[in-house]
Structure 1
Amino acid sequence: MRHLVSIKDLTDKEFQVLVDRAEYYKKTFKCGDLSAAQKNHVKLLGKTAALIFSKRSTRTRVSTEGALSFFGAQPMFLGKDDIQLGVNESFYDTTRVVSSMVSCIFARVNKHSEIQELTKHSSVPIINSLCDMFHPLQAICDILTIKEHLDYTKNKLKVAWIGDANNVINDMAIACLKVGIDVSISTPSGIEMDPEIIKAGQEVAKANGSKLIVTHSSTEAATGANVLVTDTFISMGEEYARVAKLKQFQGFQINSELCSYADPNYKFMHCLPRHHEEVTDDIFYSDHSIVFDEAENRLYAAMAAVDVFVINKGNFSAGPDDILN
Structure 2
Amino acid sequence: MKLRHFISLHDLTSSELRQLLNRAIELKNTRNPDFQPLKGKVLAMIFEKSSTRTRISFETGMIQLGGNALFLSPRDTQLGRGEPLRDSAKVISSMVDGIMMRTNKHETVTTFAEHSRVPVINGLTDLMHPCQLLADMQTFFEHRGDIEGKTVAWIGDGNNMCHSYIEAASILNFKLHLACPEGYKPDSCFVNSASASINFFDTAQQAAEGCDLVVTDVWASMGQEEEQKQRVLAFKDYQVTQSVMSAAKKEALFMHCLPAHRGEEVAEEVIDGPNSVIFDEAENRLHAQKALLELLMSGN
TM-score by length of 2: 0.95
Q: Which runs of 5+ in 1 are unaligned?
A: 30-35, 206-210, 313-322
For residue 33 of structure 2, give the secondary structure of its aligned residue in structure 1. Answer: helix
1:27-38 correspondence runs (5 A): 27-29=29-31, 36-38=32-34
Deviation at 1:132, TM superposition (A): 0.6
Counterpart position of 2:277: 290
| 2:76 is equivalent to residue 82 of structure 1 | yes
User: What letter matches 2:238 in structure 1?
Assistant: F
Counterpart position of 1:220: 206
Counterpart position of 1:208: none
- Measured in 2, the distance between the counterparts of 1:117 and 1:86 equals 16
For residue 62 of structure 2, give the secondary structure of its aligned residue in structure 1. Answer: helix
| 2:134 is equivalent to residue 140 of structure 1 | yes
Deviation at 1:107, TM superposition (A): 0.5
For residue 49 of structure 1, give the secondary structure of its aligned residue in structure 2. Answer: strand
Q: Which runs of 5+ in 2 are unaligned?
A: none
Q: 1:163 aligns with which of 156, 167, 174?
A: 156
Q: 2:172 aligns with which of 161, 174, 179?
A: 179
| 2:237 is equivalent to residue 251 of structure 1 | yes
> CA offsets, 1:210-232, max 9 Å, x none?
x4212332122111111110001
Paired residues, what number?
297
- Measured in 2, the distance between the counterparts of 1:148 and 1:8 equals 22
Deviation at 1:279, TM superposition (A): 0.5
> CA offsets, 1:35-88, max 9 Å, x none?
x321x22x2222211000110101111110011111111100012312111423
| 2:267 is equivalent to residue 280 of structure 1 | yes
- Measured in 1, the distance between the counterparts of 2:243 and 2:65 equals 45
- Measured in 2, the distance between the counterparts of 1:177 and 1:117 equals 26
Counterpart position of 1:21: 23
- Measured in 1, the distance between the counterparts of 2:41 and 2:213 equals 40
| 2:5 and 2:11 in contact (8 A); partners too | no
User: What letter matches 2:19 in structure 1?
Assistant: V
- Measured in 2, the distance between the counterparts of 1:158 and 1:152 equals 12
Q: 2:64 aligns with which of 59, 70, 74?
A: 70
Q: 1:305 aligns with which of 284, 288, 292?
A: 292
- Measured in 2, the distance between the counterparts of 1:263 and 1:144 equals 20
Counterpart position of 1:46: 40
Counterpart position of 2:254: 268
Moved more, 83-92 or 231-240: 83-92
User: What letter matches 2:179 in structure 1?
Assistant: S
Aligned residues with identical type, % of pairs: 36
> CA offsets, 1:134-184, max 9 Å, x none?
11111111111011111136x842110001011112112321342232111
| 1:142 and 1:172 in contact (8 A); partners too | no
Cα RMSD (Å) of the superposition? 1.5
1:98-137 correspondence runs (5 A): 98-137=92-131
| 2:166 and 2:191 in contact (8 A); partners too | no
| 1:186 and 1:216 in contact (8 A); partners too | yes
